[in-house]
């Protein structure tokens, strides 16, 4: 009985232990992957399915690291005796960075490639797809941009802290590609290809036939996700053409275009823009995005350039720093120094021809202008004496301007002016000339002094005369005043005499005219009275005759009595009134008696 109970107890315990172990095993087969994790599966064994030689990641269930990964969630069943799950953090690429990828497994890379070809693998998150599509081991062409990725770390190693390529606004990027087709023979830079998104798509660049090495194409300002295993970028400043200059481009690459300078120009290779050689079109002032690794830009001033053949004077452009004072010899055998300034101008459209001919403006000065100007003055000085050259400098300057202008015109350079500066004659000659000049000046000084003394003497004489002249002037003025007074008296007497005569003449004439008028009045009165008397007499005679005719002899008696009556009334006194003058009152009557006889 005891034995039966003991066996039952043992069986029960064993069953419980087995059930617990099974439960634990079942629970252990569950795997939980959190949202920020990726699960890497390691298969401990796989009977009859060994991993192919050279592979480290299995894609068909072989033992070892599995290409498939576990995403967030609960996964079952992964029995502990067969699988081990490694939990890794997700791959994070920060902003402003890219991730470089190295594949630990895959097909072998061809010997002519340094980067693996690109296969579709969802940004390396599908490792199984990567391996089955023929993804190659080693450095990958594609990069990971900023973001989160669930990548199998057993297959891929990610280099995350690689900054993106930044080109500032005042710079350009000069690109050297490390992978691609070989550079053609004789070329120093690869021609531009299209479709690779500014070198951000290496596989497209390679498919388009892009060549490795220095590239003609540049990248402008901006941010680029460039794989540093694929290309290197050198930031270079924009090329600036200052105001008052043009840039002549000498390109070392480009199409072998037809030379356009013509048969008459045999001093260089002038081509159209984009060709290999000197571009016929210059660059005008401003900032230019130019690849200075494949071309050279010669700056040519388009303003007037002043060049000094003078030891102690150099312009700011420093083109004349190697020029010095010219030493010449005159026809009379003297050696003297001569400073010359030459002003030239290079036209903007002629600048490429100048550079093609001489290489640079400095070469133009040192190899062309220096011998032309120097030799001209050395040759011309031999035709004149030192003093003639010294005294007739303007004529020598005019001749030099004409000659030098004709000489440099064939170099496509315009001569603006030629100026002769300081002339330093020999010391011995200058001592003689100076002594002679001093003697001449002394003679002039003596003559001037003599003239001054004479002038002073004349001045003193004039002053003495002026003093006497004052008295003479006063006497002359007194005489003139006396003469004027006499003349005034004479004129006054003449005036008064003339006035008296005129007055007498006027009175006589007035009296004569009054007499004539009175005589004429008397005559007229006499004539009038005569005519009146005549008229009265005639009227009386006519009346008498008519009376006689009417009355006969009685008329005569009537006339006699009338005459007597008139004589009686004539003797009667007149009446006087209080206002009658006293003298007349004696013969007048009072008013009261006028009405009757007094």
The answer on pLDDT for 577 being more than 70 is no
Q: What is the pLDDT of residues 329-345, one digit of tens each?
A: 888 878 888 889 999 99
Q: Please tell me the least confidently modeled range out of 81-95, 384-398, 528-542.
A: 528-542
Of 220, 237, 254, which closes a domain? 237
40 pLDDT band (50/70/90 cuts)? very high
Residue 291 lies in a domain: yes
pLDDT in tens, 225-281: 999 999 999 999 999 999 999 999 999 998 776 766 666 666 677 888 888 889 989
Mean pLDDT to the nearest integer, 132-151: 94
Are the C-beta atoms of 221 and 198 separated by less than 8 Å? no
- The verdict on 149 and 33 lying in the same domain is yes
pLDDT band at 518 (very low <50, low <70, confident <90, very high): confident
- Same structural domain for residues 153 and 82? yes
Q: Do residues 84 and 141 both lie within one domain?
A: yes
Question: What pLDDT was estimated at residue 3?
Answer: 54
Is residue 525 domain-resident?
Answer: no
197 and 118 in one domain? Answer: no
**Is residue 595 scored above 80 in pLDDT?**
no
Percent of the chain with pLDDT over 90: 40
Among 209, 237, 265, which residue terminates a domain?
A: 237
pLDDT (0 to 100) of residue 327? 87
Does residue 158 contact residue 90 with C-beta atoms inside 8 Å?
Answer: no
Q: What is the pLDDT of residue 92?
A: 96
The answer on pLDDT for 584 being more than 60 is no
Do 387 and 455 sit in the same domain of this protein? Answer: no
| Number of structural domains the chain divides into | 5
Percent of the chain, pLDDT > 70? 83
Residue 184 lies in a domain: yes
Residue 305 — very low, low, confident or very high, per pLDDT cuts 50/70/90?
very high
115 within a domain of the structure (yes/no): yes
What local confidence, expressed as pLDDT, does residue 592 receive? 44
Q: How confident is the model at residue 593 (pLDDT cuts 50, 70, 90)?
A: very low
Domain range for 172: 165-237
More confident residue, 420 or 537: 420
What is the reported pLDDT for 597?
43
What does pTM read for this prediction? 0.64
Are 414 and 305 members of one domain?
Answer: yes
What's the pLDDT band for 583 if we cut at 50, 70, 90?
low
Q: Is residue 417 domain-shared with residue 461, that is, in the same domain? A: no
Q: What is the 3-state secondary structure (H, E, C) of 74-97?
A: EECCCCCCCEEEEEEECEEECCCE
| 354 and 372 belong to one structural domain | yes
373 and 412 both lie in a single domain:
yes
In a domain, 8, yes or no: no
Lowest mean pLDDT among 287-301, 453-467, 540-554: 540-554
Which one, of 73, 67, 64, lies nearest residue 31 by Cα? Answer: 73
Identify the pLDDT of residue 422: 81
Burial of 317 (0-12, 13-18, 19+ CB in 10 A): middle
Pick the last residue of a domain from 203, 218, 237: 237
pLDDT at 385: 81
| pLDDT for the residue numbered 199 | 96
**What does the mean pLDDT of the chain come to?**
83
Q: Are residues 349 and 448 in the same domain?
A: no
Report the pLDDT value the prediction gives residue 2, as an integer from 0 to 100: 45
Note the pLDDT tens digit of each residue in 422-481.
887 777 666 666 777 788 788 888 888 888 888 888 888 888 777 777 777 777 777 788
pLDDT over 70 (residue 555): no
**Higher confidence at residue 569 or residue 348?**
348
Q: How far, in Å, CA of 373 to CA of 404, rounded?
A: 7
- Written as six digits, the tokens of 528 are 């009038």
Instruction: Provide mean pLDDT across the span 166-180.
Output: 94
| Span 486-512, average pLDDT | 77
At 422, which CATH number?
3.30.479.30
According to DSSP, the β-strands at 83-89 and 37-43 are antiparallel
Let me know whether 177 and 134 are in one domain.
no
- Within this chain, do residues 277 and 319 fall inside the same structural domain, yes or no? no
pLDDT of 111-140, one tens digit each? 888 999 999 999 999 999 999 999 999 999
**Distance (Å, whole) CA 420 – CA 380:** 13
Residue 459 is predicted with a pLDDT of 84
pLDDT at 589 over 70: no
Average of per-residue pLDDT across 298-302: 94
Q: Is residue 157 part of a domain?
A: yes
Tell me: pLDDT of 21 over 90.
no
Across residues 12-36, what is the average pLDDT? Answer: 66
From the list 237, 93, 234, 91, the residue with the least C-alpha distance to 163 is 93
Question: Is residue 590 in a domain?
Answer: no
Question: Is 549 part of a structural domain of the chain?
Answer: no
In this predicted structure, what is the pLDDT of residue 515?
73
**CA-CA distance, 26 to 29, in Å (whole number)?**
5
**Distance (Å, rounded) from C-alpha 230 to C-alpha 134?**
20
| Residue 578 half-sphere exposure toward CB, CA atoms < 13 A | 0
- Tell me how far apart the alpha carbons of residues 162 and 100 are, in angstroms, rounded to a whole number: 8
């Amino acid at each position: 009985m005891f034995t039966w109970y003991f066996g039952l107890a043992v069986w029960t315990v064993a069953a419980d232990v087995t059930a617990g172990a099974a439960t634990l095993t079942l629970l252990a087969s569950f795997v939980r992957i959190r949202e920020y994790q990726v699960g890497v599966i390691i298969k401990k064994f796989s009977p009859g399915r060994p991993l192919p030689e050279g592979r480290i990641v299995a894609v068909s269930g072989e033992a070892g690291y599995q290409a498939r990964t576990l995403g967030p969630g609960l996964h079952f069943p992964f029995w502990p005796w067969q699988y081990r799950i490694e939990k890794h953090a997700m791959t994070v690429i920060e902003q402003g960075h890219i991730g470089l990828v190295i594949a630990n497994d895959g097909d072998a890379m061809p010997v002519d490639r340094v980067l693996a070809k690109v296969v579709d693998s969802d940004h390396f998150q599908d490792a199984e797809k990567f391996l089955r599509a023929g993804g190659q081991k080693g450095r990958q062409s594609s990069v990971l941009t900023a973001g989160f990725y669930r990548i199998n770390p057993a297959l891929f190693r990610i280099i995350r802290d690689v900054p993106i390529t930044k080109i500032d606004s005042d710079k350009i990027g000069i690109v050297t590609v490390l992978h691609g087709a070989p550079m053609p023979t004789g070329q120093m830079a690869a021609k531009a290809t299209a479709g690779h998104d500014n070198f951000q798509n290496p596989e497209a660049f390679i498919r388009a036939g892009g060549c490795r090495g220095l590239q003609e194409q540049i990248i402008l300002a901006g941010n680029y996700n460039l794989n540093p295993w694929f290309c290197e970028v050198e930031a270079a400043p924009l090329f600036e053409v200052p105001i008052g200059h043009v840039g002549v481009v000498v390109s070392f690459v480009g199409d072998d275009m037809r030379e356009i300078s013509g048969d008459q120009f045999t001093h260089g290779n002038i081509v159209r823009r984009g060709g290999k050689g000197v571009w016929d079109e210059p660059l005008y002032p401003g900032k230019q995005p130019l690849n200075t690794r494949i071309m050279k830009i010669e700056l040519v001033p388009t303003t007037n350039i002043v060049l000094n053949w003078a030891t102690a004077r150099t312009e700011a452009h420093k083109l004349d720093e190697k020029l010095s004072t010219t030493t010449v010899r005159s026809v009379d055998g003297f050696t003297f120094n001569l400073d010359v300034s030459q002003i030239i101008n290079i036209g903007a459209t002629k600048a490429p021809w100048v550079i093609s001919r001489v290489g640079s403006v400095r070469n133009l000065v040192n190899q062309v202008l220096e011998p032309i100007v120097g030799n001209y003055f050395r040759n011309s000085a031999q035709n004149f004496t030192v003093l003639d050259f010294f005294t007739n400098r303007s004529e020598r300057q005019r001749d030099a301007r004409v000659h030098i202008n004709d000489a440099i015109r064939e170099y496509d350079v315009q001569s603006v002016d030629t100026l002769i500066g300081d002339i330093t004659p020999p010391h011995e000659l200058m001592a003689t000339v100076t002594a002679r000049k001093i003697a001449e000046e002394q003679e002039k000084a003596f003559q001037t002094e003599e003239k001054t003394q004479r002038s002073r003497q004349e001045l003193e004489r004039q002053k003495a005369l002026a003093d006497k002249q004052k008295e003479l002037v006063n006497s002359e003025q007194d005489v003139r005043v006396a003469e004027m007074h006499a003349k005034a008296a004479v004129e006054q007497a003449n005036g008064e005499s003339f006035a008296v005569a005129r007055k007498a003449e006027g009175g006589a004439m007035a009296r004569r005219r009054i007499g004539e008028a009175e005589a004429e009045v008397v005559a007229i009165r006499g004539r009038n009275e005569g005519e009146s008397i005549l008229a009265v007499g005639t009227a009386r005679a006519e009346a008498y005759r008519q009376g006689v005719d009417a009355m006969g002899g009685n008329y005569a008696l009537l006339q006699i009595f009338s005459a007597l009556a008139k004589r009686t009334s004539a003797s009667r006194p007149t009446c006087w009134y209080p206002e009658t003058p006293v003298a007349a009152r004696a013969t007048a009557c009072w008013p009261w008696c006028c009405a009757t006889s007094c």
